[in-house]
Amino acid sequence: MRRSITVAGLEHGSNPIPAACRIGPLLTTGGVRGVDRATGQLPSDPADEVRLAFANLSTLLEAGGAGLGDVAHVTVFVADKEVRPLLNTAWVEAFPDPDSRPARHVLAHDLPGGMRIQLEATAYIEGEIR
């Protein structure tokens, strides 16, 4: 059974696309932005944008019955080199155990709307769909 996962403030505009999808134990996200969900705005500070991207990823995973501990892979799109050290700081905060971190791939990419970072994740959740 496939289930669309939506979270207020993480919609894809007027596009008919959920923020994530869960099929059985597999949850995949679309692009997760570092947007302030309450205002819909990107912060001016790159560190805040990176922090919000990981917070939004965590919120989205929870809405799908998962958590950061269930993540197997993250693809990170960055708009410029200044984000990479910020990414590593947020990465260690999100995944503190060096023996239990997901795989990661970072790609430099032109991101729309002034975004500096966007995350995509795949998680595997044991147990029944919640």
How many domains are contained in the chain? 1
Determine the pLDDT at residue 33. 96
Mean pLDDT, all residues of the chain: 94
**Domain contains 130:** no
Determine the pLDDT at residue 128. 58
Determine the pLDDT at residue 129. 54
Do 129 and 22 form a contact (C-beta atoms < 8 A)? yes
Give the residue among 72, 53, 64 at the shortest CA–CA distance from 117: 53
Q: What is this structure's pTM? A: 0.94
Task: Identify the domain containing residue 34 by its residue range.
Answer: 2-124
Distances (CA, A) of 82 to 9, 13, 71, 116: 26, 27, 25, 9
**Domain contains 89:** yes
pLDDT score of 130 more than 80: no
Domain CATH for 70: 3.30.1330.40
**Domain contains 81:** yes
**Domain contains 7:** yes
Determine the pLDDT at residue 66. 96
pLDDT digits (tens, 9 = 90+) for 73-129: 999 999 988 898 999 999 999 999 999 999 999 999 999 999 999 999 999 998 755
